Amino acid sequence: MEKFLENIIAAEKRIKTADHMVYVTFPLIKDKRLLLKIIQEIKNAVTEGINSILQYEYLYKRIILYKNPKSNFKIFIEKCAPRYQITREEINLILELFDFIEKHKESPFEFIKDDKVIILSNGLNPKTLTIEKTKEFLILVKDILRKTRETFKRNF
């Protein structure tokens, strides 16, 4: 099977897992730390979706891929996103999601207050994660994969 298809299938599985965690597991358990696991799953799905698009475009010789993921992401933004009707707002939300994950990895301290997970950076700048923001990220990845599937179908 083509690599781009494997990635899109893997991304869809991750979305189903994240969706179940958001709408079934989280309301039952009510553990705010679960939000961090959910956004990690969503980030992995977004990454696999982007990789699928990049591999598909590379297969049809529309782009050149590099070893550097940042270069490939720049190519995705500049050349692939317009073709797949991925808007600037969606790209900004992807960047925000990646920033959440990065801050979580670097964070020396995280805590739960009310219905939020507060992630503190080394400079003690807070980044707040809520269930609403998590759902926004989930909707984003679903939209991107829907647009990707539609574009793939048009080209087959």
The residue ranges of every structural domain in the chain are: 3-87+131-155
For residue 40, the model assigns a pLDDT of: 96
Bridge partner list, 46: none
| Cβ(46)–Cβ(92) below 8 Å | no
d(CA 93, CA 27): 24
- pLDDT at site 39: 96
Global pTM value = 0.92
> What's residue 12's pLDDT?
95
At residue 15's C-alpha, the angle toward residues 10 and 18, to 5°, is 125
Query: Which of 131, 23, 45 is closest to 94 using CA atoms?
Result: 45
pLDDT of residue 156: 63
pLDDT in single tens digits along all 156 residues of the chain: 588 889 999 999 999 999 999 999 999 998 888 999 999 999 999 999 999 999 999 998 999 999 999 999 999 999 999 999 999 999 999 999 999 999 888 888 888 888 888 888 777 788 899 999 999 999 999 999 999 999 888 776
